[in-house]
Structure 1
């Protein structure tokens, strides 16, 4: 295929991806579902399992193998920008008076699903072998199975919190704060799992850990003050400042990828070390274009993720695995989050709201799964199973929240034996506003 033909195919495929993904996201929002649900569904629909099966000739014309590298490059670029914004917005000061409760919820929402996921992988590895996995699991594979059940998607969660009027309530504050803490833990553990399977294998595992730790230290101790001086003491135009910071995020992503930590970790780290305004305020001139760019280009990531979903080869074993894994992912997350929130002093319905919110996985789960697939920790069939789990748990979030709200509204008034407090969404506790990226 000539270069001109490749460019024409890429332009046409890009037009289809952007229109289909954002139209599906709009439709999902009309159905009171997160935007990501529609985009992920569109990505799977444009993949080989649906479009490739129903119209193979059209699929080959729209998505020839030659443009796969370009699509993957756009997907990785969108991830870097998106995760840079996530790292920049990460603010554990939201904990406030509910710090103890949020820490307890984060710990329980990590430990219980991690134990169940890792233990289940060891106990049922023979069945997983039927999904294309090797006969003997490596420690990284077992660890990754636990991470797959432990992840909570902060961007999707914050969007759901806002859309349900929970941003200024106790359960909303606790859930967002706990999810932020959980994000830090999960990304750290995932980094350890990927270090064993990625990077320059000429370097031993210990050397790569040491280099990664050194890079983090340089970013925190040197890059952060340099950025503070650059952003606060110079008067750069907003467009130039954004270009320099995106370049900084891309460079950081390249370093972590070279160390076997995937580009996602470098992008997150770059966002974390980027200083806020002198009054600890997020820079709107930086944040707004970051959201615009990532929202525009993230459909490429959904389509690339959907290309790896294999519906035709799932079989009975695969669909049974989807049901089992989804049930485990839902019960462990909602149960552990609810119990921890209850022990932290929240009422019954507020605690249930927190547990349900912690079960939303969405985009963060897809990013982790994509990294695991590239590192060889997942087979294509097991990847498909976990993608459907991520989609199902995100879909369940809104209906379950509505159910809890209705139960809270129906409880008898004036009871003295129910310390649940007001129904979710009616408490006056304030939380810092959180942008919608989901």
Structure 2
């Protein structure tokens, strides 16, 4: 295929991806589901499992191999911008202001699914071989735990606001705990990817040392340097946005080279990005970040969907999907509910916290994409886990309506105390400026 023809095919595929992705997201929203459900379904529908099976000639015409690199590049572009915004919005100060309730919920809702997922990978290694996992490496075992323990902050935040829970204790506890869960999940995932980066020029020990040096340098020097260069000079917003996105891509390229995947560098760049003098988020920075990532994320869903192969699942695969989905729901809802109850919430509030933490959304898909590219997942196992992410996200809203029916929600002004915990200030509401791309 000559370059002009490749450009034509790429433009045609882009038109379809953007139209189908956002139309499906809009339809999902009309059905009271998160935007991601529709976009992921559209991505799978445009992949080899559906479009490739029903109309193989049309699939080949729309998505020839020659444009695969360009589509993956746009998908990575959208991810870097999205995760840069997520890191910028992440308020790490919640660890010092929301005490043992949030920390206890986050740790329990992370460690229990992590242990169950890793344990099941070891226990059912024979069944995993039927899913084309020939060798159960330590990285795969850890990754199985990570896949069950992830919670998606963006989709959770959207669900909390759409259900009027932003001013209630369970809504605030769930969002705060999910933020800490994100930190734990990305940390474990980064370590797993780093150790599993076989075939690279540097051994993992050297890459670990370089990664630690890069992390330290970025955390110590990047924020004051960016504030001095970009804020105190009163640079115009568009130029500042361009330079910061360039910084995010530079950090992403470093972590990609070190085997940590570009997502880690993008998230780190967002975390060290300076806020306003009063600690609030800069709307001139945040709004275009959301617009850019929301517009282009359908490319990521299509690339993810093209790796999903429903035809590759045999009876063992569909049984694995049912078991993994059940475990994902039970471990996350059960551990989150129990920890919230022990942290001082009443029964209804604790159940709502548990259900909210079961939402996986885009965060799960990003982690699965990284695991697939690192060789930690086989194609069929990736398909199982993507379907699990779709199912758990789809079930969050119905389960929330079920457990919240007739529940008397505790308003935010009520102080939440762990047993025997001394009096303290009530939990604050999430900042209204931390609005993420809807339903992701």
TM-score range, shorter chain: over 0.9
Counterpart CA distance in 2 for 1:181 and 1:427 is 23
State whether residues 309 and 384 of structure 1, in contact with CA within 8 Å, keep that contact through their aligned partners in structure 2. Answer: yes
- Which residue of the partner structure matches residue 343 of structure 1? 342
Counterpart CA distance in 1 for 2:411 and 2:72 is 40
1:398-433 residue CA offsets vs partner (Å, 9 max, x unmatched)? 00111112142xxxxxxxxxxxxx336787763322
State whether residues 322 and 388 of structure 1, in contact with CA within 8 Å, keep that contact through their aligned partners in structure 2. Answer: yes
- Which residue of the partner structure matches residue 306 of structure 1? 305
Counterpart CA distance in 1 for 2:307 and 2:328 is 22
- Which residue of the partner structure matches residue 41 of structure 1? 41
Counterpart CA distance in 2 for 1:123 and 1:426 is 43
Structure 1 residue runs without a partner (length 5+):
409-421
- Which residue of the partner structure matches residue 165 of structure 1? 164
Counterpart CA distance in 1 for 2:114 and 2:403 is 26
1:213-243 residue CA offsets vs partner (Å, 9 max, x unmatched)? 0000110111111001123211211111100
1:153 aligns with 2:152: yes
Secondary structure class of the residue paired with 1:144: helix
State whether residues 141 and 377 of structure 1, in contact with CA within 8 Å, keep that contact through their aligned partners in structure 2. Answer: yes
Secondary structure class of the residue paired with 2:405: helix
- Which residue of the partner structure matches residue 100 of structure 2? 100
Give matches, 1:202-213, under 5 Å. 202-213=201-212
State whether residues 80 and 252 of structure 2, in contact with CA within 8 Å, keep that contact through their aligned partners in structure 1. Answer: yes
1:89-132 residue CA offsets vs partner (Å, 9 max, x unmatched)? 00033467532111001000111000000000000010011000
- Which residue of the partner structure matches residue 89 of structure 1? 89
Structure 2 residue runs without a partner (length 5+):
415-427
- Which residue of the partner structure matches residue 419 of structure 1? none
State the Cα RMSD in Å. Answer: 1.4
- Which residue of the partner structure matches residue 423 of structure 1? 409
1:24 aligns with 2:24: yes
1:258 aligns with 2:257: yes
Give matches, 1:22-421, under 5 Å. 22-94=22-94, 98-134=98-134, 136-198=135-197, 201-408=200-407
1:48-86 residue CA offsets vs partner (Å, 9 max, x unmatched)? 000000111111100001000000000000000000000
Counterpart CA distance in 1 for 2:92 and 2:100 is 12
State whether residues 117 and 144 of structure 2, in contact with CA within 8 Å, keep that contact through their aligned partners in structure 1. Answer: yes
Counterpart CA distance in 2 for 1:425 and 1:44 is 40
1:269-298 residue CA offsets vs partner (Å, 9 max, x unmatched)? 000010101110100000000000000000
Counterpart CA distance in 2 for 1:112 and 1:100 is 17
Counterpart CA distance in 2 for 1:99 and 1:379 is 40
Q: CA deviation at 1:315?
A: 1.3
1:15 aligns with 2:15: yes
State whether residues 109 and 335 of structure 2, in contact with CA within 8 Å, keep that contact through their aligned partners in structure 1. Answer: yes
CA distance change for structure 1 residues 426 and 257 in 2, over 3 Å: closer, same or farther? Answer: closer
State whether residues 412 and 429 of structure 2, in contact with CA within 8 Å, keep that contact through their aligned partners in structure 1. Answer: no
1:285-343 residue CA offsets vs partner (Å, 9 max, x unmatched)? 00000000000000000000000001011111111110000000000000000000000
State whether residues 24 and 38 of structure 1, in contact with CA within 8 Å, keep that contact through their aligned partners in structure 2. Answer: yes
Counterpart CA distance in 2 for 1:427 and 1:43 is 42
Counterpart CA distance in 2 for 1:200 and 1:380 is 20
State whether residues 166 and 425 of structure 1, in contact with CA within 8 Å, keep that contact through their aligned partners in structure 2. Answer: no
CA distance change for structure 1 residues 424 and 53 in 2, over 3 Å: closer, same or farther? Answer: farther
Secondary structure class of the residue paired with 2:311: coil
TM-score (norm. length: structure 2): 0.94
Counterpart CA distance in 1 for 2:29 and 2:237 is 32
TM-score (norm. length: structure 1): 0.95
Counterpart CA distance in 2 for 1:206 and 1:78 is 30
- Between stretches 376-385 and 424-433, larger displacement belongs to 424-433
Aligned residues, how many?
A: 424
State whether residues 194 and 260 of structure 1, in contact with CA within 8 Å, keep that contact through their aligned partners in structure 2. Answer: yes
Counterpart CA distance in 2 for 1:313 and 1:4 is 35
Secondary structure class of the residue paired with 1:229: helix
Counterpart CA distance in 1 for 2:91 and 2:278 is 14
State whether residues 49 and 311 of structure 1, in contact with CA within 8 Å, keep that contact through their aligned partners in structure 2. Answer: yes
Q: CA deviation at 1:208?
A: 1.1
1:324-377 residue CA offsets vs partner (Å, 9 max, x unmatched)? 000000000000000000000001111001000110001000000000000000
State whether residues 168 and 409 of structure 2, in contact with CA within 8 Å, keep that contact through their aligned partners in structure 1. Answer: no
